[in-house]
Structure formats: C-alpha cells, structure tokens
Structure 1
Amino acid sequence: MATKKNMTNTALVSLTNKPLDKPTTLSDSGGLAARATPAKDGKGNNVLWIFRYRMGGRETPQRTIVFGKYPDLKLAGAREKRERCKVWIADGKDPKTQLELELSKAVKPLTVAEVLDNWISEYANGKRVNASKHKQQFERWIVPHLGSLPLAEIKKPHWIAALKKRSQKYPVAAGYVLRNLQQALKWCAKSGHEFDRSVFDIDLDDIGAKHQAKRSQRLVEDDSWQRLIDLLKWIEAGEMLPYYKNLLILLITFGARTQELRLATTKEFNFETGVWTVPAEHNKTQAKDQARGDSGEIKRPIPDSIKPLLVALCEANKGGYLLGEFKEPTAVSAWGGNIWKKLGHEQKWRLHDLRRTVATGLNDLGVAPHVVESLLGHSIQGVAGIYNRSHYLPEKRQALELWCNRLDELLSGEDCNVFLLRASNDKRS
C-alpha cells in the first residue's frame, strides 16, 4: 500500500520563507516531518527533516532522528530515507545506528586490509582450521601492496599485479591465496559493501598460478603391505622425538586427522567409558555436522592395546596437550613430509595419507564402509547423514581391535609384544 503524501514542495517553500514567531512543524506520513525555526538573520527559516519512530509498541519510548537540512535534502530524498528506516525497524535494527554506520563508511572508506582482517576475525577464525595461515598469506601477498587502499577503488588489474609479484616463485600458493581472497570478498559483499566484482573473474592463468598436484597415496596395496610394515618397524626403532613417535602411533591406530592429535588434550580421553571424544572445534567437518543438527564431536573407542600408551601420556601431561606440547601444523607437516625418503620409498607420501591407509586396511579387513567413515570423522552425506545420529561405538571398537591386531601381525607376528602395547617415554637418540 502506497504511503499517503501529506506534504508538498510548495508547502516546504512556504515554510522556509514565511515569518515565524516560534518553531513550527509540518508533518508528512509515516513519522516524517519538517521542523522550521525562525532564522536569526531574517533571511529565511532553518528547516530540518526529522523522523520519529519506536522500536516496539506504543509503550516503548519515541525516538527522533534528524535526516538533514532542507533544501539540501529534498522531499523525495527524505521520504526515501524514511522508507529505509521502516525496513530497518521491521528487521529489529535501530535506524539511528544504521545511519551512523553508513556515515562512517562514507567518511572513512573500508580499506583492503580492514576487509581481510574482518573476514579472518568474524568468519574464518570460527569456520576455518587454517585461519592463521590465511592471515599470514594475506599479509605477505596482498596487504603490502594494496592494504591501505580503499576497497571500492581496487580493480581487477590491481589484484592481478599484487598476486603476480610472488606467483612465479610460489605458483601453487598463489592459487590458494586467490581462492581465499575471492571467498573473503564474497563474504564482504554479503555484508553490503560495494566494490568492483571483476575480482571474481580472475582465474589461475591470469596470475600464473597452478593447481596443487593431487596425491592420493596409501601404504597398503592389494598385493603388498610392505610400505606400512617399513613404517611400523621404523617407529619401533624409535629414532625420533617422542612427540613424533607417539603422533605416528596414534595416527596409524585411529586414522585421525593430524590436527585432531596436535590439538588433543588429556581431558578428551575417558578411560572409564573407553572413549576418545574429539571436540567440535577440532573437527574439520564441524560446520557441516552442526548444520545437520549433530554436535560436531567425533567419538572413537580406545582399543585395549593402545590404552597403556594413552594412560601414560595423560598422566605425564595432565591438563595439557596429550602429546606434551603444541606444534604448528607447518612444522608437523614438514617433518612428516620427509618420512618416505628416510624409508627409501620411491613414491612420496605424507601424514594425511595414513588416514587413507587406515581406511583401505579396514575395508580390506571387511569393516563396513559406514563404520570406516564414522571412525575417520567424515561427514555422512545424504539422507543417512540427516536421520542417523549413531556414533557406531560398538562397531568402531570391534573395527579398531581388528585393526590393531593386524598391525601387530604386520610388525612381528601374533606372538610378539608389539610397540602398540607399550607407553612411549623414549629419549631422543
């Protein structure tokens, strides 16, 4: 229904010029009015646009905003502001606050650095496990060249030039930074900020970037488990820091993500129930799981063979990190990325490939795929993921016991007391 227009431009001109002894108000509909006060110099009255509103029912106090001065702000412009304010009120937002925000943006344009910082602090820190890495890359690739400039003035050539400064040396990282930049700006667009959208047209070829090579390695094959045996024997020899030895043992046992163990604390392990509960904030698929109504936690039974090691670690590091200290993901990844060389393997593999190894091994042992997926902490897709909230603890316990027995056999036969049964308190040799 159209707003009834009670005010006219003619009436406003008259209000501005006619002699006044006291302040006079000329009302339009919807809370809008023009308030005139006698001019001290006698050269016309001062006319201000005011808007009266309430944030609740009539029992709530009336509030007033000054939109601006007439004739600087015309009747049509004042009515447009009134309609925007009514939309904000319907959304539960105070028009005064919203107008102040708009003014602050106009006075101080949002810079590129501010946009990227806002995305990191307000989105990535809660949604991305590598948020700190994203921030570091922005600070190296984007901020030194464009950070202080207003976002609204940056065009496609500016982004390309900034990214090209390092892309020749780091072509894979360049693509990673570009994708995160575009995602940050999409988030910015949802917040109502205006900027040149051609940044979304930039592709890898524009900046000389490359896709990361896909590596999908498993240490077990249909005809040979030799690479996994090599790794088990190398771990048994123990020529490494205890941190990494324990990390490898637990990665191979549970098929967990590296970050789940890097960040694991002793309070996550309940030896009475025999369950390791990975908190939602350590789970890579937390957002997907919680969107379906799950807690986002991953629950894994503790096999009997690994329990002594976990008990020893929890006692030694009570109240702290399970592995005794915190290590950055880059440090752990770099260390794990060289194991294949030390073992003399021809094909490169990394720590994440141990998850694929566990998954393949469990499937070869006849464990049901849905149990394997749940054990790995994958988000179950489709109808099953929506309606099935089971953690499959009995099935996962049976699968892990079967897997640990298989590891024992691979290392030194069924009659051997293998490393998985012992707590590791080794010194670096």
Structure 2
Amino acid sequence: MEAIALPAKGKRNHLWDETLKGFGAMVTHTGVRSYLLQYRMGGRGHPSQTITIGRHGSPWTAEKAREQAADLLELVRKGVDPKASKAEKRQQEEEARRDQNEFAFATYVDTFIHRHAVKKKLRSTPDIEAVFRRDLKPRFGDRSIKALSRSDITKALDEIGDRSGSAANKAHKWLKKMFNFAVERGDLHGSPMDRMRPPHEEQSRERALDDRELRPVWLACEAIGYPFGPFTQLLLLTGQRLREVAGMRWEEFSEDAREWLIPGARTRNKQPHLLPLCELARSILLDIKARGIDSELVFTTNGRTPVSGFSKAKKRIDNYIAERPESVGVVAPWTFHDLRRTTATGCQRLGIPIDHTEALINHTGRRRGIVAVYQLYDYRLEKAVAGQRWAEKVISLVGS
C-alpha cells in the first residue's frame, strides 16, 4: 500500500489485485489510502459500482481487506448488492441509535409526562412521576420501549405487586397510558399491554375512622411533630384533599388566619374554595408560624417544595400507634384519604345538613361565571358552623 505513489492534486492512483478481481487500493493526493472493491450486479452489460472497504491502517490491513472483498463478492454472486446492504446496515444502526436515545424507556417516560400530564395540567402529575421514578425507571432504564414485551411488563408488575398490590395497579395504569400515548403518536405500532388487566383487584374504599380510632391517631401526630403531625391533623379537621393541604401557602390565609382561600389552580373542580377555619385548626397554623420557618409554604422540609413522601409519613404514624399497648387492636388499617371521609361522615352524624357538609369539604361540581364568584361565599356561615362543630367533636374524642 505504501508503495503507491501520490498522484497529482485532485487525482487518485489505484493498484488492483492480480488474483481477486475487483479488489484494489486507492491513494489520494493528500496521502489518504483506502481499500475498495469494484463489482457489477447482473454481470456484463450492467454498470460497475464501487464500495469502499476502509482506510489503510487498524483494523484494515491488505489481508483483512482482501478477505472482506471476497465476502462482498460472494454476496454479489448471491444477488445481494453490497453497497445497498451497507446502506441498509447504516440505516439500521442509525435507527438503533435513535431508539437508544429517543425511545429509551427513561427518556420516553419524561416525554410522556411532559406532553401528556404537564401540558394537560393533570393534578396527578406528581403521583405519575413518583410511580415511574420509584417502580418502573429502575427496572427498564435505557431499554427501548420498542423492545419491551408483554412478558417483561408482567414480570415487573409481579415484582411490584409482591410489595404492594395498589402500587402494581398504579404502575399498570400509567404504563398502559404511556404505551397508548406512544401508539397514538405513531412511535409504536401496537401496545404490549393491549387488553392487559390490572394485576390486582381493587377494593372499594368506604372507610371512615370511628370515634375510638381518632385519639390514637391524633396522639401519634403530636408525637411525630412537624411537618407530618400537624399536616395529618389538618387533614382531619378541614376535610380537604391531601395535596390541597400539603400545598398550603401562607399567602392563602387571611391576616388573622381565620379563613383559608384555596386557589382554583389547586382544587379538583378548578374553582377557588373559601374555608372558614375552626379555632383548633387556626391554633395549629399559628404554632407552625411561630416556628419561624423561612418559606412561603406551610408544610415543607426544604423550604422550596411542598412535603412529599406520604407513605413514609403514614408508616411513622402507624409504627407509633403499634408501639402503644393501649392502641393495639384499636386502629384498623387506614389511609390519608380516609380522613376526608371521616370528616364528612362525622358531620353527618352530628346532624349537619348534607349540602353544608359538601360545601365544607368542597365536594361540588364545576361552576362558571358569576355563579363561580358567588360560590366563594355560598354557605360561608354554614361552613364555619359545621367546621367548628366537627372540631369540637374531635376535641372531645382526643382530649386536646
């Protein structure tokens, strides 16, 4: 190869192998030396084509290049165009790299969350992110979503289900939605989860804590302290939804902390909700304020974002209750959402009219225009009375 003389500028010199027809070497005026093969598809009468095997040097020596040329000529003999085959292989490699980047599971999850959950302003976005982050990204990582089989997904859901049937069902729900999203966009021809049922049967929840259960729960909240102790107590006293309480901001309260205006951006029905606060809820908030936490958020661990990690917080409460001999067998399994149902049920037992109770917990439909404006003040007095009566009942049960 080194014996081939450099050609004049703009020219190329060739040296053809005497034993393997079509195999040769080429050198440019800049000194670039390459191995190549000339061949004809269909024999004589058809135009010749040239394919570059590679540049001289590692890994291409004359012997290795000759072996490659012989393999390519065998393809020609079989009617396969090496140049077209090389282009196809290059395209496949490019598609594989694209899959690795764009369709890697972890990357595609982020695309799904951004374009489906965030753009649609789903209130469940934090929960969706948590499901993928905790249970699915660690399992599938950078694998292409195109390569995931129904069996892969079933095994993952089985493993999640060994820990929690509810978690497995949530993983099933959002993973299935993501695959349907991919099909709708044309990124997949079909979903591997088509007609796949949730792995666990959901139990209908009609749970409300009874009078005996409230005291152990309340005392556990006092024991674990800020932020999840008072957070749980306010869930029970106000009957509001978990993330509405978790996302409380000081600017949402009146100056004397007697009223809480939840903005429509944080309520399920997208309408602002004015909630008069009972004295006990107000005193809890004032105690938190007195802590001097430098944040616009009422409940936070870093000053920048609302509290999260609710399952761990719930476990701390449960562990405290389990360690108290007087509480053993008293408190049945419960969830944070059961506290909202407990408030509603408790108000009903106190004889509070159902429309007043629903106004208190903001269990209403969508209202627009002037109706939405006046709804802020509908049942204002009635909500205040209902909230205070429920708080007094709680106080009588927990001894605060």
Task: Report TM bin, short chain.
Answer: 0.5 to 0.7
Matched, 1:219 2:202: no
Q: Equivalent residue for 1:132? A: 129
State the 1:167 CA deviation. 4.6
Q: Equivalent residue for 2:234? A: 250
Matched, 1:353 2:329: no
Matched, 1:320 2:301: no
CA distance in 1, matches of 2:280, 2:152: 58
Matched, 1:263 2:258: no
CA distance in 1, matches of 2:183, 2:369: 31
Q: Equivalent residue for 1:398? A: 385
State the 1:118 CA deviation. 0.9
CA distance in 2, matches of 1:399, 1:227: 21
Contact 1:337 1:349 in 2 (8 A): no
Matched AA of 1:321: L
Matched AA of 2:333: K
State the 1:355 CA deviation. 1.4
Contact 1:362 1:399 in 2 (8 A): yes
Secondary structure of residue in 2 paired with 1:380: coil
Q: Deviations over 1:375-396 (max 9, x none)?
A: 2233537xx8999531432221
Q: 1:167 to 1:313 in 2, by over 3 A?
A: closer
Secondary structure of residue in 1 paired with 2:279: coil
State the 1:348 CA deviation. 1.9
Q: Deviations over 1:247-278 (max 9, x none)?
A: 23322211223333333222221135832123
Secondary structure of residue in 2 paired with 1:239: helix
Q: TM-score, normalised by structure 1?
A: 0.57
Q: Equivalent residue for 2:183? A: 189
Q: Deviations over 1:349-400 (max 9, x none)?
A: 233222121111111122222332332233537xx89995314322211211
Q: 1:228 to 1:362 in 2, by over 3 A?
A: same
Q: Equivalent residue for 1:228? A: 214
CA distance in 2, matches of 1:168, 1:408: 40
Q: 1:305 to 1:111 in 2, by over 3 A?
A: closer
Q: 1:337 to 1:154 in 2, by over 3 A?
A: same
CA distance in 2, matches of 1:140, 1:358: 38
CA distance in 2, matches of 1:196, 1:380: 37
State the 1:139 CA deviation. 0.5
Which of 389, 394, 400 is the aligned partner of 1:407? 394
CA distance in 1, matches of 2:228, 2:294: 19
Which of 184, 188, 194 is the aligned partner of 1:200? 194
CA distance in 2, matches of 1:358, 1:189: 43
Secondary structure of residue in 2 paired with 1:173: helix
Superposition map of 1:5-404 within 5 A: 108-109=98-99, 110-113=102-105, 114-125=107-118, 126-127=121-122, 128=124, 129-136=126-133, 137-141=135-139, 143-144=140-141, 147-149=142-144, 151=146, 154-164=148-158, 166-168=160-162, 170-204=164-198, 209-220=199-210, 225-232=211-218, 234=219, 238-272=222-256, 274-283=258-267, 285=268, 289-290=269-270, 294=271, 297-315=272-290, 316-317=292-293, 319-323=295-299, 325=301, 326-338=307-319, 340-341=321-322, 342=324, 343-344=327-328, 345=330, 347-380=332-365, 389=372, 390-391=375-376, 392=378, 393-404=380-391
Query: Structure 2: which 5+ runs fail to align?
Result: 1-93, 302-306
Identity, in percent, stands at: 16
State the 1:228 CA deviation. 2.4
CA distance in 1, matches of 2:163, 2:395: 45
CA distance in 1, matches of 2:162, 2:396: 48
**Highest Rg: 1 or 2?**
2
Matched AA of 2:385: Q
CA distance in 1, matches of 2:224, 2:163: 32
Q: 1:339 to 1:360 in 2, by over 3 A?
A: farther
CA distance in 1, matches of 2:208, 2:284: 25
CA distance in 2, matches of 1:403, 1:246: 17
RMSD over aligned Cα atoms: 3.5
Q: TM-score, normalised by structure 2?
A: 0.60
State the 1:157 CA deviation. 4.1
Contact 2:239 2:344 in 1 (8 A): yes
Query: Structure 1: which 5+ runs fail to align?
Result: 1-103, 413-418, 420-429
Matched AA of 1:320: E
Q: 1:148 to 1:361 in 2, by over 3 A?
A: same
State the 1:279 CA deviation. 3.7
